[in-house]
């Protein structure tokens, strides 16, 4: 099997009709590591919007249950990429997410912005550091996939094209990115979680490296200092070397989804009823049982 066989297969698909199948191939076979990293940056970008960060700060989930909040997001996104939003399993996790979000006063414009980051951050990362850039067809498929998810979340006024939604994403950031103490608290808890993944001897270097690939508006809104220029250059060069190396490897024969890995919050595995803030799990599980009885 040639390294570009999956890419060629995707180019024969329809970006709207086959959006689930295309995103399954992108997230599971072509770019699993890259899309995970891109969505971590997407998460940080949402903290740059004070209305979003203040809600997250108020719930305390990112301060007290940081790893679980991160893992739950990863699980839901991974399950959607793996199964799609029309499969019963995908539907179950999407309904679970809606039940969680339904407990909080989230504005439609904030929902729209967060949804847009799930499209454009992976596109930007893969264009910058992927072993190949995403094709126009693949970008359209990402747009149609997340628009369909957004519609099932009840989000309204979703821009009607890839370019229009990208413009919304950029304009929203220009208008709403601003420093707030809540931004820094929520982002700081997430940064501490990420550092906890490294051996003690590497944490100081990792702490300097975390801001290295982040742009100035994001850093300013979080109150973070930029990484040393030499470290930024080293990381960028390392990622580019990685992309050249990956081009020489055979393609994956088995998918690699976040949900298939050993997850820190769920070392014994997880079920649908495990997903959600600890403070809401009893209520959510009670609702689920009533709906299925």
Supply 188's token pair.
Answer: 């700081």
**Structural domain includes residue 291:** no
User: Which residue segment(s) compose the domain that 104 sits in?
Assistant: 5-283
**Structural domain includes residue 290:** no
**Closest residue by Cα to residue 131 from 25, 256, 34, 214:** 34
Q: Of the given ranges (67-71, 128-132, 134-138, 280-284), which has the lowest mean pLDDT?
A: 280-284
Residue 283 confidence (pLDDT) above 70: no
Asked if 232 and 213 count as a contact pair (C-beta separation under 8 A), the reply is yes
d(CA 57, CA 70): 14
**Structural domain includes residue 117:** yes
Residue 286 confidence (pLDDT) above 60: no
Quote the number of domains for the chain: 1
Question: What's the pLDDT score for residue 221?
Answer: 98
**Structural domain includes residue 273:** yes
DSSP, collapsed to helix, strand or coil, labels residue 262 as coil
Q: What pTM was estimated for this model as a whole?
A: 0.92
**Structural domain includes residue 50:** yes
Residue 239 confidence (pLDDT) above 90: yes
**Structural domain includes residue 292:** no
């Amino acid at each position: 099997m040639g390294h570009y066989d999956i890419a060629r297969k995707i180019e024969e698909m329809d970006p709207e009709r086959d959006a689930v199948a295309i995103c399954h191939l992108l997230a599971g076979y072509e770019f699993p590591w890259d899309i995970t990293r891109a969505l971590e940056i997407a998460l940080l970008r949402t903290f740059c919007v004070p209305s979003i960060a203040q809600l997250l700060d108020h719930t305390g989930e990112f301060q007290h249950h940081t790893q679980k909040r991160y893992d739950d997001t990863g699980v839901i996104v991974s399950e959607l990429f793996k199964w799609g939003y029309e499969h019963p399993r995908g539907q179950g996790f999407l309904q679970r997410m809606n039940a969680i979000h339904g407990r909080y006063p989230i504005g439609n414009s904030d929902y729209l912005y967060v949804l847009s980051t799930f499209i454009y951050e992976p596109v930007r990362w893969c264009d910058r550091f992927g072993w190949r850039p995403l094709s126009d067809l693949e970008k359209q498929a990402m747009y149609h996939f997340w628009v369909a998810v957004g519609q099932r979340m009840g989000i309204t006024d979703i821009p009607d094209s890839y370019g229009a939604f990208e413009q919304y994403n950029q304009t929203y950031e220009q208008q709403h990115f601003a420093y707030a103490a809540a931004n820094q608290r929520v982002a700081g808890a997430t940064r501490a979680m990420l550092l906890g993944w490294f051996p003690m001897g590497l944490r100081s270097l990792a702490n300097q490296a975390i801001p290295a690939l982040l742009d100035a508006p994001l850093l300013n809104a979080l109150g973070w200092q930029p990484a040393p220029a030499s470290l930024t250059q080293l990381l960028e060069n390392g990622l580019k070397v990685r992309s050249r190396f990956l081009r020489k490897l055979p393609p994956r024969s088995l998918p690699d989804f976040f949900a298939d890995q050993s997850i820190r919050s769920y070392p014994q595995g997880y079920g649908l009823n495990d997903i959600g803030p600890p403070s809401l799990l009893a209520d959510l599980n009670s609702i689920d049982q009533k709906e299925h009885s």
